[in-house]
A and B are shown apart, each in its own frame.
Chain A
């Protein structure tokens, strides 16, 4: 992972990089990344889609499917974080709180007004997006680690507010909701149907991430990430772009939060506190925020690793920590970067360096 966010005014004189040529290249064309051939991209996408759709029929059992649902809704939240970090270079360690805003908004609407899943979803997503934008306001002033600490504070504050919120937020015990309002012919009480609901949302998130990545908007975000001052000087409205991506990220977080709420049917403040937030950051780093499938890979590794290795919670957390250290030291671009580099080495193509710039789309 490259040097991230420079806040205005302290751009990296400290790096030994020669910037001038680098800057132009990044603003004019996204040639730092060499996209894989379209056929490879399409094949990967189709294989992945088939695998995910076929998953409930593979007879892997109830527990496996439950973990798969958890993985998928986490991945939806991660795609938001992946966009803001991978494309715009704004890291957050309070992202679980943003999911919590969506989940609690939906739960409160359900408890107070009796709104169901489908009706409360747009409100919850909109609220998450707005909160994402509001928390994002400080990024316009401070950058880098300062902003990360702000997001962490927000996350801790959110938990305190929820815990002290009395019956409105259900205090420390949290809130309960019913099941997803059934669509004609589809009852979401059935686990596999719930899985398909979450999967559909994941496909939406993937498609949105892909489209943003190849769009002009995505290129502008990457330009801001690489050099904010230069981006500003060529007339890019940096503030608007940053707030925009944070709101999109909030939208994803809200969607993930509501899906989480209706899968668990019960939420409490600890689900959205510091630890889950740190884990989201871990997953996105682990998978590789700049790669289309990076967040999904990260979510799969973190959620399935303890299951595969049959670890108890304490050991699995130690394992996460060690994984994270190893990935950062050995594969700074995340596992996504590793897979792409291996693929490129095998096919003899010119792969992106892990440090190169924004490849969007591992395959």
Chain B
């Protein structure tokens, strides 16, 4: 039982990173209409930046915020210089994002190297709750994710901006006529999603080592999460992330660990074929023109 609870907490912390990247993708794909395959690389860049800053003696939590901002700026640049020009042709944007992901991956290898990087546990405490040892950092990761998710959820579903954003998605032309600056919203969503990826990367490197190739692995999980939940659906991304994180964490503990990656892929293919709008419903993705 103790082992089960530990596995559960571990799975939750892994799921947190997946949820963060899943939310970023669900927003960018579902609301801004951009399929950004480089999103995983954004996360990796965030992790690498954190590694670099912590290595230079900076406090982890400061580095986390800076990594988020840095990747947000990266997202801004990518949107302004690249994706802005392909909004009407999502397929071209998608192919471009592949190019961007190759560039980022190898730029990181060029600047640092291809070996895995890790930082020491920034908190370094173990809490014992009811006889179960819980690594404090893992709990903090879960807590940070919960806060971010809550902010995003209420931002999208309750705030004026969220409403305007959803209006732009369901009918772009009318939203523009109502005076909503749709383009600016697209940019804003892209930056916000990227910022989440940066934070996710920082949290990820606090849990386990990452390599320049981590991004291309995690992106699949991100897509799986966002598609399971339904694109543009923040709550769905959380559910998807939890399901996937728990399946992965528990299968690593109990099942066949060498097939761990296969589960999320199979789940994703099934969902895409059987229920393209996701389990909880969402947009069908960018309006393919």
Interface residues of A (CB under 8 A from B): 1-7, 10, 12-15, 91, 93, 137-138, 141-146, 148-150, 152-154, 156-157, 160-161, 163-164, 274-275, 278, 281-282, 285, 314-315, 317-318, 320-325, 328-329, 332
CB atoms of B268 and A153 under 8 A apart: yes
Question: Given contacts A146-B272, A153-B269, A325-B99, is CB(A1)–CB(B91) below 8 Å?
Answer: yes
Contact between chains at A325 and B100 (CB < 8 Å): yes
| Seed contacts A12-B289, A148-B35, A322-B99; 6 additional CB < 8 Å A-B pairs | A137-B273, A141-B276, A150-B269, A321-B103, A324-B99, A328-B99
The 8 A-B residue pairs with the shortest CB-CB distance, nearest first, are A324-B99, A321-B103, A321-B102, A12-B289, A321-B99, A15-B289, A14-B287, A144-B288
Q: Chain B contacts of A91 at CB under 8 A?
A: 91
Q: For the complex, what is the distance from the CA of A3 to the CA of B92, rounded to whole Å?
A: 9
Given contacts A150-B272, A314-B109, contact A3 B288 (CB under 8 A): yes
- With an 8 Å Cβ cutoff, the count of chain B residues facing the other chain is 46
B88 contacts the other chain (Cβ, under 8 Å)? yes
B219: min CB distance to chain A, Å: 9
Q: Is the CB of B265 within 8 A of A318?
A: no
Partner of A282, one of B86, B92, B99, B266: B99
Are B91 and A144 closer than 8 Å at their CB atoms?
yes
> What are the residues of chain B within 8 A of A1 when measuring CB–CB?
89, 91-92
Given the known inter-chain contacts A282-B98, A320-B99, please indicate yes or no for A149 contacting B227, CB distance below 8 A. yes
Contact residues in A for B193 (Cβ distance below 8 Å): none
Q: Which of B90, B106, B262, B272 meets A142, CB within 8 Å?
A: B272
- 6 residue pairs A–B, Cβ–Cβ below 8 Å: A10-B284, A142-B273, A148-B35, A156-B220, A281-B98, A324-B95
Residues of B within 8 A of A314 (CB): 106, 109-110
Distance of A13 Cα from B174 Cα, bound (Å): 13
B163 lies within 8 A of chain A by Cβ: no
Q: Which residues of B lie under 8 Å from residue A3 when comparing CB positions?
A: 88-89, 91, 288-289
Q: Which of B107, B216, B272 has the most CB of A within 10 A?
A: B272
Q: Beyond A148-B94, A278-B102, is A14–B261 a contact (Cβ under 8 Å)?
A: no
CA distance A142 to B278 in the complex (A): 12
| A154 pairs with B172, CB closer than 8 A | no
- A93, B289: Cβ atoms closer than 8 Å: no
Give the residue of B96, B99, B259, B285 whose beta carbon is less than 8 angstroms from that of A146: B285
State A61–B66 Cα separation when bound (angstroms). 52
Contact yes or no, B110 A321, CB < 8 A: no
Assess the A144–B285 pair: CB atoms within 8 A. Answer: yes
- Contacting residue for B259 out of A7, A142, A145, A160, CB 8 A: A160
Is residue B60 within 8 Å, beta carbon to beta carbon, of the partner chain? Answer: no
- Within the complex, what minimum Cβ distance (angstroms) separates A88 from chain B? 13
Cα separation A226 to B272 with both chains bound (whole Å): 23
> How far, in angstroms, from A318 to B102 measured CA to CA in the complex?
7
A156-B223 Cα distance, complex, nearest whole Å = 13
Q: B residues 234-265 with Cβ under 8 Å of A?
A: 258-259, 261-262, 265
* Residues in A neighbouring B92, C-beta threshold 8 A: 1, 328, 332
**Proximity bits, B99-130, A CB within 8 Å = 1, else 0:** 11111011101100000000000000000000
Number of A-B contacts (CB under 8 A): 144
Are A7 and B95 in contact, CB atoms less than 8 angstroms apart? no
Q: Find A143's partner among B100, B106, B262, B288 (CB 8 Å cutoff).
A: B288
Residues A157 and B286 in contact in the complex (CB < 8 Å), given A149-B223, A281-B98: no
Docked complex Cα distance between A150 and B289 (Å): 20
Which B202-237 residues have a C-beta within 8 angstroms of A? 216, 220, 223, 227
Q: A residues within 8 A CB of B289? A: 3, 12, 14-15
Interface of A is mostly: helix
**Shortest beta-carbon distance from A163 to chain B in Å:** 8
Interface centre among A2, A142, A281 (most CB of B within 10 A): A142
Q: Does B82 contact A (CB under 8 A)?
A: yes
Known interface pairs A10-B287, A93-B98, A325-B99; A317-B91 also in contact (CB < 8 Å): no
Q: Which of B35, B86, B91, B258 has the most CB of A within 10 A?
A: B91
- B161 close to chain A: CB less than 8 A: no
Residues of A within 8 A of B220 (CB): 152-153, 156
Which chain A positions have C-beta within 8 A of B273? 137-138, 141-142, 150
Any A CB within 8 A of the CB of B85: yes
Residues B160-192 near A (CB distance < 8 A): 172
A172 CB to closest chain B CB, in angstroms?
A: 11
A14–B33 Cα gap in the complex (Å)? 12
Within the complex, the shortest CB–CB distance from B18 to chain A, in Å, comes to: 16
Q: Tell me if B107 and A318 are in contact (CB < 8 A).
A: yes
B268 nearest CB across to chain A (Å): 5
Q: Distance (Å) between the CB of A241 and the closest chain B CB?
A: 19
Distance of A2 Cα from B88 Cα, bound (Å): 9
- Min CB distance B225 to A, Å, is 12
* Chain B residues in 8 Å Cβ range of A163: 258
Neighbouring B residues of A321 by C-beta, 8 Å? 99-103, 106
Nearest B-chain residue to A322, judged by Cβ? B103
Chain A contacts for B35, CB-based, 8 A: 145, 148
Chain A residues whose CB sits within 8 angstroms of the CB of B266 once the complex forms: 157
| Complex interface: chain B residues within 8 A of A137 (CB) | 273
Q: How far is the CB of A170 from chain B (nearest CB, A)?
A: 15
Q: Is the CB of A5 within 8 A of B288?
A: yes
Contact status B85-A329, CB under 8 Å: yes
Give every chain B residue within 8 A of A93 (Cβ-Cβ).
Answer: 98
Once the chains are docked, how many angstroms separate the CA of A320 from the CA of B102? 8
B 73-94 to A, binary, CB cutoff 8 A, 1 in contact else 0: 0000000001001101111101
